[in-house]
Structure 1
Amino acid sequence: MTMVTQSAPATTGPSVKIAQPMTLTEKIIAKACDKSVVRPNDNVWVKTDVLMTHDVCGPGTIGNFYKEFGADAKVWDNEGVVIIPDHYIFTADPRANRNVDILREFAAQQNLKYFYDITDRGNFKVNPDYKGVCHVALAQEGHCRPGEVLFGTDSHTCNAGAFGQFATGIGNTDASFVMGTGKLLIKTPATMRFALNGEIPDYLLAKDVILQIIGDIGVAGATYRSMEFAGSALSQLSMEERQTLCNMAIEAGGKNGIIPADEITRAYVDQRNAGQKPYEVFAADAKATYFADKTYDMSQLEPVVAMPHSPDNKALAKDCRDTKIDRVYIGSCTGGKTEDFAAAARVLDGQKVRVPTFLVPATQKVYNDIQNLKINGRTMAQIFREAGCIEPASPSCAACLGGPADTFARMNEPLLCVSTTNRNFPGRMGHKDAGIFLASPYTAAASAVTGYVTDPREVYGFDKARRHPVETLLER
C-alpha cells in the first residue's frame, strides 16, 4: 500500500493491509469497510467520517431519522454531523425560512457541535456562525481530510474529493440511516483516470478543463464511476482550483471525483482540520486497474463553454461570439470562491461591463476577501465597483438553484446568461426558457465586458510565456 501519514496530529500506522493493487477510491473504501481489498461493484458497508446536510434536504432527512430510529433517537456522532444552511436563505418565503428553523431545533436537540446557523437574514455579517455555501464552507472550516469518507445530501458533495477523500452525494433516506448508524451500504465504483499533463496556459482555469472533459465523455460518461484526476499539471493547481475539478464530476454522472493529496493539500488541511483529527493520505497503486484511462495536454486546451441546456454541450468560447447575452453571474460552489473572483477581477481591472454582472460570494470569508484582498493595489471590491458590477450579494447559493422568486439574481425572465455555476438545465436558475452558458471566471468576466460570449484572450492580454496562478496575484 502506498500511504503517507500526517505528522501532526499523530496517526497510527496503516489501518488496512492491502492485498492487491487498487485505485485511490478503492483504497479509501477498503479502509472504511475494514477489508484488505475491494473491487468495482463490490457492495460494502462503509464507516462514515462526516455527514453533511443543508436547509433543502435537512428537514426531510431529519424527519425520516426520527421516524425510523424513534422520537428520542440520537445521532451516531454529534461531531460527525455537520449542518450548513445555504440554499434558500435570503428570501421572504416562509417555507424556506421554516426549513432553517427545523435545522436549528434539530441541532439543539442533538447537541451538534457543527451547526452554522443564521438568525438575522437582514444582515448576514452579524451572524458569526453563518458561513454560506456548504461545499466551500466544509473545506474552509476544516471538515475535509484525506483518506476519509464524507457523505452529503447534495450532489456536489464530490467537491471535497479535491482533498484526497471519498466524497459523494446521497439521498435523504440514506442520510437518515447514516445519522443513526454512522454506516452506509455502497457499491464500489469503477475508476476512470484522467491524466492532466503539460504546462497550463495563463488563460486557462480548472473550469475550462472540467468542461472540456465533460464535453468529451458526456453527462453520462462517468455514471457511477470514480473520476480520478492525476498527472503533472495537478501540482500547478491550488486547492480551490482542484475543488472546481472535483465539484463537477457529478455533471458527468460520476459517483465521486478525487485528486491524490500532496504537500499543497496537507498545508491547506493542517491549517484548518476541525478537531485536529489524524488522517491518512493514500495514493493509487501503479498497477491499479482502471475502467478507462484518458490523457490531456493542458497546453493544447482553450477556453470553453457549455451551451444551453446541458453541461456537455461544449463549444470553444471563441466560436460563440455571435451570441449576445443579457447578464453575467459569478458565484456558486463551483465558481464563487476567492480565486474565482480574483480571476474575474484580473480581467475586469480597468474595464467596464456592458451587461448586469451579479457577484455572489460562496461564503462570508470569500465576501471579506473581496472587500480586503487587492490586485494591482486595489481591492477586488473596488475593481468590481469601478467596472460597473452589481455590489456583491450575501453569501449563499442564491440563483444557482433558482429558488423562490425573490432570490438574488434569479432569472425570472427568458434571459441569456454566462455563469460560473455548474448546471445549465432548463429552469436551473429560474425561468424554464432562460439560457445558461457555463464558463470559467475569466470567460464570464470577458463576456461581461463585451456583452456576448467571449474568449477571455479577446479582452485581456494574458502572458504567452508562462502562467500566473490566480492565487499569486492577490495582495494580502
Structure 2
Amino acid sequence: MGKTIIEKIISGHVGEEVKAGDYCVVPVDMLMCHDATGPLAIKAFREFERERVWDPTKVAFVLDHATPSPNERISGLHDMLRSFAKEQGIRFFDVGEGICHQLMLEKGMVLPGDIALGTDSHTCTYGAVGAFSFGIGSTDASGVLLTGKLWLKVPQTMKIVVEKGLTRGVYPKDLMLHIIGILKSDGADYLCLEFSGSCIDDMSMGGRMTLCNMAIEAGAKGGIVPPDEKTLEWVRHRSSRFFTPKLSDADANYIDVLHIDAANLEPQVAFPHAVDNVHPVDEAIGIPVQQVFIGTCTNGRLEDLKEAESILRGRKVNDSVRLLLCPASREVMLEAAKQGIIASLVEAGATLIPPGCGPCPGTHLGVPGEGENVISTANRNFKGRMGNNKSNIYLASPATCAASAIEGRIADPRKYLD
C-alpha cells in the first residue's frame, strides 16, 4: 500500500516509515506566533529557565490581531513580543506588515514538504504550497521553542477531487463553503483534506490558500494541495532554501474520497451562526446588511481585492452600508495601490484599514452594532466572532460581498459582471 503526501512528509522528518494512526515526535521546520497567543508561549518558555530558543531562524513573530494597538494592555503585549524577538534573534513582523498566514507564505518562510506550526487555527493555510501545517496551543508552542519538536498522531487523509472549472461569478471561497456544507463542522475531525482534480490544477495559489485556510472549519487537522509546477514556480520566487516536495502515491490509502463537479456550483453563503450552515446565494438574496468586510487571511489577497473591484468599479456603496477594506499584507496593499484597485474601491465608498486581522476576531476595528448583519469574506461566523454576540455574520466571496455592498442587502454577484 502506498503513502499519502502527509505520511511521506512525516516519515521524511522522523527518519522512518510511518502511517496514519502512528504516534511520533517530529522535528519542526517553522513556528509562528502572533500577538494574541505569543505572550502565553513566551511566559511558558520562561518558566523552564532556558536562555535561548532552539533555533531562532525557524521562528517568526507577527503583530496582526490587534494592530495598531487599541489600548495600554495590548501595547504591553506587543512590547513583550518585540523584546523577546530582539533578545532571541527571531524574525519579527511589526504593526502593518500584515496577517501572519499571508506573510509566512509570501515571504517564503514555509516551503513544500515542510512541517510548519502556528499558534493559530488557520495555520493550515500553508498546505497550499504542499506543507503539512496546523495550529497548536501556546503551551505546545513553548515546548517547540525549547526543543524544536512536537509529539503528534499521523492523521488519516480524505481526498477531495474537484473536476471541471468554476463558472463566472463563482470562486474558490464558494467551493470551500460548499465542501464545508457537505462535510459539516466535524466531518473531517483530525483528518487532512487533500485537494486535487482539474479545478485545483487550474486554480491560482491564492485560491488554493483559501481552500486550505478553511480546512479547519470542517474539523480537519490540515489541508494540502500536492505541489505542482505552479507551486514550485511560486515558492522559488520567494525563497532560495532547499526543499523536497512530496506527492501521494497512486495507491495511497484514503479514509474517504469526495468528488465535486465545480461546473454545477453557484455562489454560496454561510448563514449565522455556523460556517457549515451553507446555502446557495439565491436563498440569501434580499437579506439586509449594514456592514461588509473584505479582507482576512482567507480572502485579503490581491486577486480578492481585484474580484471586489471588478464589481464595484464605477459604482457606489449603498448609503446604508459600511464597507471595510483590509488588505492581507503591506505588499498586497502596495500592489493594489499601484494597480489603482485601492483608489477604485475607496472612490466607491470603501474605508481602507491597516493590514491585519482586527475586525475578523473582533479584537480591533469594525465591531458591528447590536442587531446588525455583516457579510464578510472571513472564515468564521460564530456568535460574537466580530466582537458583538448580538450581531449576525454571513460569509461569502469577495464578489458576493461587493455586490451586497452596492445593494445594502445580500446580492448575487453575477448580475454585476460584464
* TM-score for the superposition, normalised by structure 2: 0.97
Shift of 1:187: 0.6
Distance 1:178 1:386 in 2: 47
Alignment match, 1:13: none
Name the CA distance, whole Å, in 2 between partners of 1:179 and 1:79: 11
SS of 1:280's partner is: coil
Identity %: 39
Counterpart residue type for residue 231 of structure 2: T
Check whether the contact 2:399–2:413 (CA below 8 A) recurs between aligned residues: yes
8 Å CA contact 2:286–2:411 kept in 1: the answer is no
State which of 90, 94, 115 in structure 1 corresponds to 2:92: 115
Quote the Cα distance in structure 1 between the aligned partners of 2:79 and 2:371.
33
1:28 aligns with 2:9: yes
Determine if the alignment matches structure 1 residue 47 to structure 2 residue 47.
no
* Matches for 1:175-254 after TM superposition, within 5 Å: 175-254=141-220
TM-fit CA distance, 1:181:
0.6
Gaps of 5+ in 2: none
Letter in 2 for 1:21: G
Report what 1:336 is aligned to.
300
Q: Does structure 1 retain, via aligned residues, the 8 Å contact 2:367–2:387?
A: yes
Residues in 2 aligned to 1:388 and 1:263: alpha-carbon distance in whole angstroms = 39
Alignment of 1:402 with 2:366, yes or no, is no
Name the aligned partner's letter for residue 409 of structure 2: Y
The Cα of 1:412 is off from its aligned counterpart by 4.1
Q: How does 1:271-290 map to 2 (within 5 A)?
A: 271-273=237-239, 276-290=240-254
Query: Unpaired segments of 5 or more residues in structure 1?
Result: 1-19, 119-123, 125-130, 374-378, 462-476
State how far apart, in whole Å, the 2-side matches of 1:165 and 1:50 are.
Answer: 11
Secondary structure at the residue paired with 1:353? Answer: coil
Other-structure match for 2:262? 298
Contact 2:272–2:394, Cα closer than 8 Å, also in 1: yes
The letter for the 1-side match of 2:38 is G
Structure 1 residue matching 2:60: 3-state secondary structure:
strand
Return the TM-score normalized by structure 1.
0.86
- Equivalence for 1:352: 316
Aligned position for 2:416: 459
Distance 2:286 2:306 in 1: 27
Residue by residue over 1:84-112, the C-alpha shift from the partner in whole angstroms, topping out at 9 and shown as x without a partner, is 11101223311111111111111122122
Which range moved further: 353-362 or 417-426? Answer: 353-362
**Is the 1:360–1:398 contact (alpha carbons within 8 Å) kept by the matching residues of 2?**
no
Instruction: Give the Cα separation in 2 of the matches to 1:167 and 1:433.
Output: 34
In the alignment, the residues of structure 2 paired with residue 220 and residue 347 of structure 1 have an alpha-carbon distance, to the nearest angstrom, of 34
2:236 alignment partner in structure 1: 270
What is the aligned partner in structure 1 of residue 107 from structure 2? Answer: 141
Q: Report the residue type matching 1:318 in the other structure.
A: D
AA aligned to 1:224 is: Y
Contact kept? 2:291, 2:368, Cα under 8 Å = no
Deviation at 1:61, TM superposition (A): 0.3
In structure 1, the residue corresponding to 2:334 is in which secondary structure?
helix
In structure 1, distance between residues paired with 2:72 and 2:14: 42
Matched, 1:325 2:282: no
Aligned to 2:74: 96
Q: Give the CA RMSD over aligned residues.
A: 1.1
Paired residues of 1:398 and 1:410 also in contact (CA < 8 A): no
Partners of 1:92 and 1:244 lie apart in 2 by 28
